[in-house]
Amino acid sequence: MLKQWINDKSGFYMEKTLKDFKPGESGVVAKIGGAGQIRRRIFDMGITPNTEIVMRKVAPLGDPIEVTVRGYQLSLRKSEAELVVMKAGGDSK
C-alpha cells in the first residue's frame, strides 16, 4: 500500500494507488506500474499519466471497482488498480 505526502512546485498532494481510493474520491494519474501485457492493457483502457479518475463504486465483495475516466465508466480488477499510482488531495493537478 503506497501512501505518502509529496511537496513539489504545485503544492502538497498524497500519492497512493487507485486501489486505496474510496468512492467519490478523485485524483490524477501519476504513473503506471507493471510491465508487458497488463501495463499495455491499462494504457489501452485510457488510463495514462495526467488523466483524471473518479472512483465511482466498489463491488460488495471489494472486487471489481468502477471508476470514471475520460467521461466513461470503467470496471477494473483490484490487481489492475494497484498498478495505477495517483496524486490525490491538495492541488493534485
Domains and CATH numbers, the chain: 3-88 (2.30.30.90)
Closest among 60, 62, 65 to 47, alpha carbons compared: 65
User: Over 60: is that where the pLDDT of 5 sits?
Assistant: no
Q: Where are the alpha helices (DSSP H) in 1-93?
A: 36-44, 78-81
| Per-residue pLDDT at 51 exceeds 50 | yes
Rounded mean pLDDT, 47-61:
92
Closest listed residue to residue 75, CA positions, set 62, 93, 89, 85: 62
Summarize the confidence of residues 57-79 as an average pLDDT.
92
Query: pTM (2 decimals)?
Result: 0.79
